[in-house]
Chain A
Amino acid sequence: MSARAEGRTERSEADVIRIEDLVRVYQMGEVEVRALDGVSLSIAPGEFVAVMGPSGSGKSTFMNIVGCLDRPTSGHYFLDGTDVSGLNRDQRAEIRNGKIGFVFQAFNLLARTSALENVELPLIYASQGYRASDRAAKAKRCLEVVGLAGREDHMPSQLSGGQQQRVAIARALINDPKLMLADEPTGNLDTRTSEEVMAVFQELNERGKTVVVITHEQDISEYAKRVVVFRDGKLVEDRPVSGRRTAVVKR
């Protein structure tokens, strides 16, 4: 890393996410599509941010880059003080494993695999390696956090949508990530279970986790503390949530 890049590293140390002039261009045959067109954004530790925008606005591309699944065409992305925009596949996999907790719209649990084993999954790929007994103990604790104690041996097919999503949250939590990144986490859920899931996020946020939720639903964004809105690859709005909702935990 160059001296200049290291300098930046120090400057952005305080932020969990610091994005500078991020551009992502897709080549669709002859046509260039600028999915992200110069986005700059900082997210401090402990924030709860909802990312909104209509489809095609670039919020999925934003989420892929922030989640280290993709790389920007130009610009810089500092995650937890480190510039990750130039990392290769394996390095990004390590970042995803250790610093980011993913929650997806479709839950993305492994079928025919117990809740406990699903939660353990990221530990298998952790570079330090865990013993099976340590993995199970950690996974059990994470399931307790999301209110699923006693459901360790249930298969995803035996759990409701809301419960499956909470298993996914437990999985995202297991490596104690700097950033929880949720992509439409309530997209497959009804209103009541949506609230249940958002309650978990709010609770985690209360405990100090930085949470970024991508959503297109207005009421879901109201559980966050801050809303950023994308349109045509640009960040067009960045405001605090007024009249924040608090999800009622029904356990």
Chain B
Amino acid sequence: MLKFLTILKVGMKAIARNKLRSTLTALGIIIGVGCVIAMVAVGGGAQAAVQEQISSLGTNFLMIFPGAATQSGARIFTGQSSITDDDVAAVRAEAPSVAYVSPMSRSSAQVVYGNLNWGTSIQGVGVDWPFIRSWNVDRGSFFDETEVRSSAKVVVLGNTVATSLFGDQSPVGQMVRIKNFPFKVIGVLESKGGSTMGQDQDDTVIAPYTTVMKLLKRSAKIDMFMASAVSRDAVDRAQAEIDALLRQRHRLTPEQDADFMIRSQQEIAQTADQTSKQMSALLAAIASISLLVGGIGIMNIMLVSVTERTREIGIRMAIGAKGRDILTQFLIEALTLSIAGGAIGIALGIATSRFLAWKQQWPIVLAPAAVLLAFGFSAAIGIFFGFYPARKASRLDPIEALRYE
């Protein structure tokens, strides 16, 4: 033990004697570890942001699409939509775990106000829609049951559309034209920001689904419908109830495939989560390459150092250093370089991610596990890439080494 400590000191001294070279060697590891930490922090931040947005979407809602899911997951449209307005009404009336239901009919069109126009998506929904999406009206009001039944030409604007067409002016009470039909603006939605997939959720116009079907799509069928469970825990129950009810109404035997598909928000969340995880993994992988390059740098310098110090190794061996004493000394040198590099790299990585969070307003999540992992990894690199040069040194023949000029 005493001997090990002494050899440790010898290794440290050798590093201190070659300050510039030691710094340059450690720089490879510093940059590598710094990159890994910063990238993982950025990736983790993105992941957290995605999760937050998904929960802002409302966590307990279900989407029911017409058409069956095949085994490959693709949807087959068998001509007409299999879900009717009556199905929606039945779910609302008969499924106890379902709190709100809204049919949906989507289209896209130009919204014209004065000499301005804005192309956007038109979502035809029912009166329950604000409750399902937990998305409230900021100014004005949402349409009511009467307006839905009468296919009233009223719209609620998303924040982006309102700002684009009206600027600072209040849109409530103004008239806009969609596909040449005049619509009255009755409200503006509160701003929700970007969605999971990066779309601007506020770039939309909400209208009664009956109006969208009749005037804009000229179709008697709804595209899909949304339902929300009474609570977060009731999502599975609500899904089962809707499934049973629709099967019964569509007269399907248990053996038959359903002609509709229910997707929960949780499934969507999982997909999005997976995507962002893959993204983080990719970032980390790219950063790891720089760590690998840093490791090769250490190996290169250690090999040069072994050659350069052949005579020193010969002297040490002649006066009684064993192979493993030399091995230990050179391993300690490599390990010290990589661990010191790792420590500085961690500080640099944390500083970089803090800087990004401050300057770019990126969401940053610094996971202590990632920091520890990067540190352990840099030590492992020291051992891995230091071992070959160290072993080379330890196997030198003292007679040859002493003769080396």
A102 with B323: in contact, given A108-B311, A112-B17, A132-B6 (CB under 8 Å)? no
**Of A5-13, A35-43, A117-125, A211-219, the one touching chain B:** A117-125
Residues of B within 8 A of A70 (CB): 399
Whether the Cβ atoms of B17 and A64 lie closer than 8 Å is: no
**Of B224-232, B273-281, B313-321, the one touching chain A:** B313-321
Whether the Cβ atoms of B402 and A104 lie closer than 8 Å is: yes
Within 8 A of B (CB), among A110-154: 110, 112, 121-122, 124-127, 129-132
Whether the Cβ atoms of A93 and B17 lie closer than 8 Å is: no
- B325 contacts the other chain (CB 8 A): yes
Whether the Cβ atoms of B6 and A93 lie closer than 8 Å is: no
- B2 contacts the other chain (CB 8 A): yes
Question: Chain A, 163-181, contact with B by CB distance < 8 Å: what is the 0/1 string?
Answer: 0000000010001000000
- B349 contacts the other chain (CB 8 A): no
Select one of B3, B17, B323 contacting A89, CB under 8 A.
Answer: B323
Residues of B within 8 A of A104 (CB): 318, 402
Within 8 A of A (CB), among B1-35: 1-3, 6-7, 10, 17
Select one of A108, A125, A175 contacting B3, CB under 8 A.
Answer: A125
- B87 contacts the other chain (CB 8 A): no
- A87 contacts the other chain (CB 8 A): no
Looking at A96, A130, A131, the one whose CB has the most chain B CB atoms below 10 A away is A96
- A32 contacts the other chain (CB 8 A): no
Question: Chain B, 127-157, contact with A by CB distance < 8 Å: what is the 0/1 string?
Answer: 0000000000000000000000000000000
- B398 contacts the other chain (CB 8 A): yes
Looking at A90, A93, A109, the one whose CB has the most chain B CB atoms below 10 A away is A93
- A98 contacts the other chain (CB 8 A): yes
Select one of A64, A67, A90, A129 contacting B6, CB under 8 A.
Answer: A129
- A21 contacts the other chain (CB 8 A): no
Residues of A within 8 A of B10 (CB): 124
Select one of B312, B315, B317 contacting A93, CB under 8 A.
Answer: B317
- B214 contacts the other chain (CB 8 A): no
Closest beta carbon of chain A to B257's beta carbon, Å: 75
- Interface of B: prevailing SS: helix
Residues of A within 8 A of B3 (CB): 124-127, 129
By size class, the interface of chain B is 20 to 34
Whether the Cβ atoms of A126 and B323 lie closer than 8 Å is: no
Whether the Cβ atoms of B402 and A93 lie closer than 8 Å is: no
Closest beta carbon of chain A to B121's beta carbon, Å: 74
Closest beta carbon of chain A to B3's beta carbon, Å: 5
Closest beta carbon of chain A to B397's beta carbon, Å: 8
Whether the Cβ atoms of A89 and B312 lie closer than 8 Å is: no
Q: Please, how many angstroms separate the alpha-carbon atoms of A126 and B6 in the complex?
A: 11
Whether the Cβ atoms of A126 and B319 lie closer than 8 Å is: no
Whether the Cβ atoms of A125 and B320 lie closer than 8 Å is: yes
Whether the Cβ atoms of A129 and B312 lie closer than 8 Å is: no
Whether the Cβ atoms of A108 and B402 lie closer than 8 Å is: yes
Whether the Cβ atoms of B315 and A108 lie closer than 8 Å is: yes
- Cβ-closest chain B residue relative to A174: B319
- B179 contacts the other chain (CB 8 A): no
Closest beta carbon of chain A to B309's beta carbon, Å: 9
Residues of A within 8 A of B263 (CB): none
Residues of A within 8 A of B324 (CB): 90
A96 with B315: in contact, given A69-B398, A124-B10 (CB under 8 Å)? no
Whether the Cβ atoms of A131 and B2 lie closer than 8 Å is: yes
Closest beta carbon of chain A to B183's beta carbon, Å: 86
Question: Chain B, 296-329, contact with A by CB distance < 8 Å: what is the 0/1 string?
Answer: 0000000000000001101111111111110000
Select one of B6, B315, B317, B398 contacting A124, CB under 8 A.
Answer: B6
A residues engaging B (CB < 8 A)? 64, 67, 69-70, 89-90, 93-94, 96-98, 102, 104, 108-110, 112, 121-122, 124-127, 129-132, 171, 175
16 A-B pairs in the complex with CB atoms less than 8 angstroms apart: A64-B399, A67-B318, A93-B317, A94-B320, A97-B320, A97-B321, A102-B319, A108-B314, A108-B318, A109-B315, A110-B312, A124-B6, A124-B325, A125-B321, A130-B6, A175-B320
B residues engaging A (CB < 8 A)? 1-3, 6-7, 10, 17, 311-312, 314-325, 398-399, 402
> With A93-B321, A93-B323, A110-B312 given, can you name 12 additional A-B contacts, CB distance below 8 Å?
A64-B399, A93-B317, A97-B319, A97-B321, A104-B402, A108-B314, A121-B316, A122-B319, A122-B320, A124-B3, A124-B6, A125-B3
